[in-house]
Amino acid sequence: MSLLGVVGHVANLAVGVTINPLTILGLVPVFAAGLLFMKYVEVDPESHPINIKKVRPEYDFIVVGAGSAGAVVASRLSEIENWNVLLLEAGGDENEISDIPTLSGYMQMSQFDWMYQTTPPTDSGYCLAMIGDRCNWPRGKVMGGSSVLNAMIYIRGNRLDYDQWAEMGNPGWSYDDVLPYFMKSEDNRNPYLARTPYHSTGGYLTVQESPWRTPLSIAFLQAGRELGYQVRDCNGEQQTGFMLSQGTLRRGSRCSTSKAFLRPVRNRPNLHIAMYSQVTKVMIDPKTRMAYGVKFIRNNRPQFVRAKKEVILSAGAIGSPQILMLSGVGPKEHLEEHKIPVISDLKVGHNLQDHIGLGGLTFIVDQPVTFKKQRYQTFEVALEYIMKEKGPMTSLGGVEGLAFVNTKYAPKSGKWPDIQFHFAPSSINSDAEQVRKITGLRDSVFNTVYKPLKDAETWTILPLLLRPRSSGWIRLRSKDPNIYPDIIPNYFTHKEDVQVLTEGIRIALNVSASKAFQRFGSRPHKIPFPACRQYEFDTDEYWECSIRHFTFTIYHPTSTCKMGPATDLDSVVDPRLRVYGVGKLRVVDASIMPKIVSGNTNAPVIMIGEKASDMIKEDWGIRVIH
């Protein structure tokens, strides 16, 4: 096969669609040598998890979903040699393209993505710049789940988040309780971090800074100092401050939870993994109210497998509530609407929370220091990645810096910031076609606002609201498991959310106005969204209009199976993550968070998987050494 043919073949395998190899060579960073090297030389196919052909009739534990939590739980439970564990995953395995950090955006809207969308709002406006007023909500449908689609950012959240969880009636979930579980997973490869009391080495999950960055990343840190913030490890003693991004990166490549937790244990005889297996229902005995197995579809054939000890749902903040409701666990009236027999009347799907911000907040500079596709789409860049595991392709989804800042609405202590910045030395125009695809921006919006920036040098801050007051729902549209549920995030139903975010945007403008960025001639891009032309730039009305149009989720849905004490009528699971009213059934994923954490959710979900694994072991009589 010719070089061009091989590149095309590998690309087709990677994204699950037929692609002209000339398109790959022209529109995606140069894979010709890279994919050949990784596909046929470096990557040992035997290192990947084994997809078993036939599932046994019964296992001790069934884990549903091999994502950021499920991969951890399956790995840790299978440490007990006399326990048999089945891990069911609706998607397939990762591949070479998903390994490349800078291509994280290309994983969205691919075979690895459930490709969810929000339901168009009926009253409070959001996602108005998107086609159909619907925001895309990518979720991982692949071994490793959303840890294969994300920008690999490793942020743990704030100490006060977890102390709040404990104060809400969840003993064992304070910061002092969960910190050991963050450290248990971690293998930090940056010596200056690894030596601190807040990090560790030797865990399954590799964490490090990208070995490559643009000059603007240093300007970002310097700007933070000018604004009165410290440059610090925001995963350390205090969160408030500016930092270079830490990520789940290993030798320049993505370290997903499948790579971290499942590949090293692939030969355990007591761990079976069944890919392309979509769970449709947890089987619960209506008399005893005990879970005893799951139904799933594999090879277009319905199957059933029995669980002797427990079923553990790790299908995520959308998947877990959907499966629970299809199984008869959820709000009574809602289930009765769909003629689903009610086993446990719980507020499943309520309390949906997410981090949102203003997308496309763009700044222009005069020097060629930004991350542009045409600048780094070269043979030399590809070779540097292949041969040295360095260079622009190791960038963490393009996010070089992070900051946690306090608006005037934040607690006066300054220790619980209410806005997070994701700094990227690029913008919508830097890879216009792919960004338009994954955001769903309307052509009229793109052509008006971003097309004029075609040849410009640009950078971005994504200001995110860390603790939104507004919350939404996941609701069934049908009892057919193949029909996606309604996702109703209810963004901005609380005016305070708009006010906090507006103040965050103004702090971002101050970053651009700093001496550090003025060296590059930085200034904000001021072309308004078409529907916001009547408002003057930088007025409250201008920013509210902009936020409601280019509403940007950073894909952190949580809290739809809320953890809480029995006295909290909104709770779905208890502090040991057992579903109320149903035996032998737990939920272990982002959906159990009673309140969303102040930061990226991937590291906290891995922690939840670690802690839940120990709780399950303890509940079945296994002594755990903390």
Within a domain: 21:
yes
Q: Which residue has the higher pLDDT, 377 or 214?
A: 214
516 confidence band (pLDDT: 50, 70, 90): very high
Share of residues in the chain with pLDDT > 70 (%): 92
**Interval 553-599: pLDDT, tens:** 999 999 999 999 999 999 999 999 999 999 999 999 999 999 999 99
Residue from 129, 33, 102 nearest 431 by CA: 102
148 confidence band (pLDDT: 50, 70, 90): very high
Q: Is the pLDDT of residue 431 over 90?
A: no
- The pLDDT score that the predictor gives to residue 429 is 85
Q: Which residues are annotated as a binding site for FAD?
A: 142, 279
- The pLDDT score that the predictor gives to residue 625 is 79
Q: Which residue has the higher pLDDT, 533 or 21?
A: 533
Share of residues in the chain with pLDDT > 90 (%): 86
Q: Is the pLDDT of residue 278 over 90?
A: yes
Which range, of 122-136, 263-277, 476-490, 531-545, averages the lowest pLDDT? 122-136
Q: Which residue has the higher pLDDT, 431 or 578?
A: 578
Within a domain: 484:
no
Q: Is the pLDDT of residue 33 over 50?
A: no
Q: Per the structure, how many domains does the chain have?
A: 1
46 confidence band (pLDDT: 50, 70, 90): low
Per-residue tokens: 32: 């010709």
Distance of CA 253 to the CA centre of its chain: 17
Within a domain: 25:
yes
Averaged over 25-54, what is the pLDDT? 57
**Interval 368-400: pLDDT, tens:** 999 988 888 788 998 899 889 999 999 999 999
Distance CA 97, CA 107 (A): 8
* b/e code 110-139 from CB counts within 10 Å (16+ = b): bbbbbebbbbebeebbbbbbbeebbbbbbb
**Interval 308-367: pLDDT, tens:** 999 999 999 999 999 999 999 999 999 999 999 999 999 999 999 999 999 999 999 999
29 confidence band (pLDDT: 50, 70, 90): very low
Check if the beta carbon of residue 444 is closer than 8 Å to that of residue 430: no
The one-letter amino acid at 492: F
Q: Return mean pLDDT, the chain.
A: 92
Averaged over 122-147, what is the pLDDT? 95
Q: Is the pLDDT of residue 287 over 80?
A: yes
Within a domain: 8:
yes
Within a domain: 18:
yes
Within a domain: 593:
no
**Interval 181-208: pLDDT, tens:** 999 999 999 999 999 999 999 999 999 9
Within a domain: 15:
yes
45 confidence band (pLDDT: 50, 70, 90): low
- The pLDDT score that the predictor gives to residue 22 is 31
- The pLDDT score that the predictor gives to residue 2 is 31
Within a domain: 38:
yes
435 confidence band (pLDDT: 50, 70, 90): confident
What are phi and psi for residue 65, nearest 5 degrees?
Answer: 105, 120
Half-sphere exposure of 160 (CA within 13 A, CB side): 14
Q: pTM score, two decimals?
A: 0.94
Alpha-carbon distances of 363 from 117, 126, 459, 522, 540, rounded to whole Å: 29, 23, 5, 6, 19
Collapsing DSSP states into helix, strand and coil, what is residue 116?
strand
Catalytic residues: 556
Domain that holds residue 33: 3-42
- The pLDDT score that the predictor gives to residue 247 is 98
